Structure 1
Amino acid sequence: MNLIGAQSLVTLNFRFTLGDGTVVLSTFESTPATLQIGRGELGTRIEECLIGLAVGTHRTFELAEGEAFGQFHDALVEWIPRHELPADVDVEPRAVLTFTAPDGNAFSGQVLDVNDDAVQIDFNHPLAGRAVTFEVEVVGVS
């Protein structure tokens, strides 16, 4: 029996649900996801839930506030002067912008507010600080 280990390549269906029942992300209605454990593609705590599960396993995990996607940090909500953003960038509230760090890594932030001089952007994970239910069905392990 193949069990998920620290470096396994896994194929699975998963669903993240908020406490009010809102489904945030689900692959159950589409194509299962394939990912490499140990790369943090789903986050460390979520990957820990998967370790030891076998093909065919269907489990649900209740993850406390901040456990799945980290705590919300006020310091990651910033006002960026408009002149520092490219002119062709959509800066409407709720838009998600992608930035490139000096080291070449990309990161995203969601626009919260806009005024004539600056744009307020939240660089926290959209589910940071939230309790979530993580439902998983293991389809394949190699």
Structure 2
Amino acid sequence: MTKLYVGHGVKITLNFELRLDSGEVVDSTFDKAPGTFEFGDGTLPAGFEELMRGMASGERKIFQVKPEQGFGMQNPQNLQTFRREDFSHLDTLEPGMVMSFADAAKAELPGVVAKVSDDEVIVDFNHPLAGRHLEFEVEIIELSEMDGEA
């Protein structure tokens, strides 16, 4: 049997932990069930997958992830201004609140209230981890070849 490595056509079962550069844990599977996905299926950002490329079952590594490899840089065009009256149905509206919006295709799009004034609300639609340097720890538990099912 040929030894498998992380790459295209491979199903990956892993544990991972994502930390901010401050050490704060953003997400982790080490204390719960491992994750499983197919390389390239969009489950993880492509930059994270590329860091794991070539790893084998049983390997555990820690990677330093630049914003460009992770969730991208903050894009000022992803800050949108709305009229304050559009939120009049809410009892509370303050910076840091996460809200759900619908995009042009009616898909759900999360946004974070960045600023509230008397007449307008600025909502940030950047990924919450955009522009952040991260630490990505990964342990490859099992690798298997995809069986060709679509």
Of residues 22-31 and 89-98 in structure 1, the stretch that sits farther from structure 2 once superposed is 89-98
1:25-61 CA-partner distances (Å, limit 9, x unpaired): 2111222122232122211100111222111110111
The one-letter amino acid of 1:124's match is N
The one-letter amino acid of 1:114's match is V
Distance 1:80 1:102, change over 3 A: same
Distance 1:82 1:67, change over 3 A: same
- Contact kept, 8 Å, 1:4 with 1:141, in 2: the verdict is yes
- Contact kept, 8 Å, 2:37 with 2:43, in 1: the verdict is yes
Q: Percent identity?
A: 35
Matching residue of 1:101? 103
Distance 1:65 1:141, change over 3 A: same
Distance 1:6 1:83, change over 3 A: farther
Write the mapping of 1:122-137 to structure 2, written as runs, cut at 5 A: 122-137=124-139
Paired positions, count: 142
Matching residue of 1:20? 22
Distance (whole Å) between structure 1 residues aligned to residue 79 and residue 39 of structure 2: 30
- Contact kept, 8 Å, 1:66 with 1:131, in 2: the verdict is no
Matching residue of 2:49? 47
TM-score w.r.t. structure 1 length?
0.84
Distance (whole Å) between structure 1 residues aligned to residue 102 and residue 138 of structure 2: 32
Of residues 69-78 and 7-16 in structure 1, the stretch that sits farther from structure 2 once superposed is 7-16
Matching residue of 2:147? none
- Contact kept, 8 Å, 2:6 with 2:53, in 1: the verdict is yes
**Which has the greater radius of gyration?**
2
**Structure 1 unaligned residues grouped into runs of 5+:** none
Write the mapping of 1:1-142 to structure 2, written as runs, cut at 5 A: 1-84=3-86, 87=89, 91-142=93-144
- Contact kept, 8 Å, 1:66 with 1:130, in 2: the verdict is no
TM-score w.r.t. structure 2 length?
0.80
Distance 1:141 1:83, change over 3 A: farther
Distance (whole Å) between structure 1 residues aligned to residue 79 and residue 109 of structure 2: 14
The one-letter amino acid of 2:51's match is C
SS of 2:77 mapped into structure 1 = helix
Cα RMSD of the aligned pairs, angstroms, is 2.2
- Contact kept, 8 Å, 1:66 with 1:72, in 2: the verdict is no
Distance (whole Å) between structure 2 residues aligned to residue 50 and residue 104 of structure 1: 34
